[in-house]
């Protein structure tokens, strides 16, 4: 088996090995009955911190979801404390099945998990600003005025389908079993090893070439775009990183680092928009009752500014240095998480 296949199957393993972290009981964890004490809520300070973490890490191969989960834990926001609406009544989840006699309350952790997805609107806005010419090309392609833009859009849609489908079908299971620090730390380690292997393979393949050739985004075949999409499925395990899996997938089909990063950014428009929109529609009633609008808007604003700065820097960095530094960062972060959480 050649190195490229090892890297690909490593990403497939990332998407399936998360099952080893699941609990024997697949039912959602019990939510304590609401108390009369005022519960912890998402403050403006919390929103600004989480927005900064999301915007800085979304397009880096270090896992934004993993970082926001860790940040939420550090801020004490991952508690199963039932939230109350403006009238003081506990908010009951309308979309969770179970025994009608035992209501499922919308908790602080539920609220923050949804917030961490919806704040991705910030990075979406950043990509629209930074890559408006490419986005305009995609729109012109839909209208039949830009053949290359239409081909890029086709490739993005093909790359989106695998993870989009799997994420939709497994969303509830992923939230119930993988949104905690143990699986995140494990994914940081596993992803780092895949990144080091991918970077070693890329450098070996392009050794001696001052400017290694590679396809442009519109030159990717349907099969190559689908392969990138299959790699992205591994990112459903929080801590793996959507950016990392799509960039590694780009490496496997021959994209240069900067082009692989650009494809990852554009694919993020589809992935993040669908994820944020799905969560907003799914939890609209609960969000209106339990998640303040002000902190959410602040978080999105902070995330937008942070993402603009980060993306500009990252494109330059990856073109010159590749992914290795981020792999070592992930290993150091995972070691710190295990040490702190087990202490």
DSSP letters for 97-158: -S-TTS--B-BHHHHHHHHHHHTTHHHHHHHHHHTHHHHHHHHHHHTTS-HHHHHHHHHHHH
86 domain-assigned: yes
Report the C-alpha gap between 244 and 248 in whole angstroms: 6
Residue 33 within a domain: no
Q: How confident is the model at residue 319 (pLDDT cuts 50, 70, 90)?
A: confident
Give the pLDDT band (50/70/90) at residue 171.
Answer: confident
Res. 258: pLDDT tops 60: yes
Reduced to 3 states (helix: H, G, I; strand: E, B; else coil), residue 179 is coil
Tokens read off for 339: 């040490």
Q: Is residue 47 part of a domain?
A: yes
User: What are the tens digits of pLDDT across the range 196-247?
Assistant: 999 999 888 877 665 667 899 999 999 999 999 999 999 888 888 899 999 9
With CA atoms as reference, report the closest residue to 298 among 99, 121, 63.
121
Q: What is the pLDDT of residue 21?
A: 43
pLDDT at 101: 57
- For residue 310, the tally of other CB atoms under 10 A from its CB is 18
Q: What are the DSSP calls for 197-222, one per residue?
A: HHHHHHHHHTTT-SS-----GGG--H
26-43 core/surface letters (b: 16 or more CB in 10 A; e: else): eebeebeebeeeebbbbe
In a domain, 28, yes or no: no
Residue 24 in domain: no
What's the pLDDT score for residue 343? 57
pLDDT of residue 20: 44
pLDDT for res 208: 65
242-252 and 257-282 are packed helices; what angle lies between their axes, rounded to 10 degrees? 140
Asked, for residue 31, whether it belongs to a domain, the answer is: no
What are the beta bridge partners of residue 84? Answer: 90
27, 32, 34, 36: CA torsion to nearest 10: -170
Binning the chain into helix, strand and coil, the percentages to the nearest 5 are 70, 0, 30
Q: What is the mean pLDDT of residues 93-121?
A: 73
For residue 253, is it within any domain? Answer: yes
**Which pLDDT score, from 0 to 100, does residue 80 have?**
81
What tens digit of pLDDT does each residue of 137-149 get?
999 999 999 999 9
d(CA 226, CA 156) in angstroms, rounded, equals 9
Q: Provide the pLDDT for residue 27.
A: 41
Residue 2: pLDDT band by 50, 70, 90 thresholds?
A: low
Task: Answer yes or no: is pLDDT of 310 > 70.
Answer: yes
pLDDT greater at residue 342 or residue 124: 124
Domain count of the chain?
1
Domain span including residue 290:
3-19+39-342
pLDDT tens by residue, 268-283: 888 888 877 877 777 6
Q: How far apart are CA 100 and CA 89, in angstroms?
A: 17
Give me the mean pLDDT over the 146-164 stretch: 95
Share above pLDDT 90 across residues of the chain, in percent, rounded to a whole number = 41
Q: What is the pLDDT of residues 31-81, one digit of tens each?
A: 555 554 556 678 899 999 999 999 999 999 998 877 888 898 889 888 888
CA separation, residue 237 to residues 22, 183, 305, 323 (Å)? 12, 8, 26, 20
Q: Looking at the domain assignment, is residue 332 inside a domain? A: yes
User: Across the chain, where does the E strand assignment appear?
Assistant: none
């Amino acid at each position: 088996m050649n190195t490229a296949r090892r890297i690909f199957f490593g990403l497939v393993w990332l998407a399936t090995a998360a099952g080893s972290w699941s609990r024997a009981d697949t039912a959602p964890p019990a939510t304590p009955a609401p108390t009369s004490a005022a519960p912890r809520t998402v403050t403006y300070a919390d929103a600004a911190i989480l927005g900064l973490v999301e915007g800085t890490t979304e397009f880096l191969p270090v896992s934004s979801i993993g970082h926001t989960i860790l940040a939420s834990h550090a801020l004490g926001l991952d508690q199963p404390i039932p939230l109350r609406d403006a009238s003081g009544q506990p908010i009951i989840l309308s979309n969770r099945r179970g025994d009608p006699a035992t209501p499922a309350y919308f908790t602080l952790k539920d609220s923050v998990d949804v917030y961490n997805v919806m704040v991705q609107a910030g990075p979406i806005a950043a990509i629209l600003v930074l890559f408006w010419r490419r986005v305009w090309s995609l729109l012109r392609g839909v209208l039949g005025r830009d053949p290359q833009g239409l081909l890029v859009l086709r490739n993005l849609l093909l790359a989106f389908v695998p993870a989009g489908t799997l994420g939709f079908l497994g969303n509830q299971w992923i939230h119930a079993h993988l949104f905690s620090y143990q699986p995140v730390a494990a994914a940081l380690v596993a992803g780092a090893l895949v990144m080091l292997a991918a970077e070693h393979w890329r450098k070996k393949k392009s050794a001696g070439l001052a400017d290694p050739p590679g396809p442009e985004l519109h030159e990717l075949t349907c099969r190559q775009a689908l392969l990138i999409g299959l790699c992205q499925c591994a990112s459903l395990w929080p801590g793996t990183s959507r950016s990392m899996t799509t960039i590694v997938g780009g490496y496997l089909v021959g994209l240069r680092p900067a082009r692989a990063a650009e494809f990852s950014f554009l694919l993020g428009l589809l992935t993040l928009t669908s994820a944020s929109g799905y969560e907003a529609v799914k939890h609209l009633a609960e969000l209106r009752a339990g998640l303040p609008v002000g902190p959410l808007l602040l978080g999105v604003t902070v995330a937008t500014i942070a993402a603009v700065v980060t993306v500009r820097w990252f494109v330059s960095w990856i073109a010159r240095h590749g992914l290795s530094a981020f792999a070592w960062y992930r290993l150091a972060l995972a070691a710190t998480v295990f040490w702190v959480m087990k202490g």
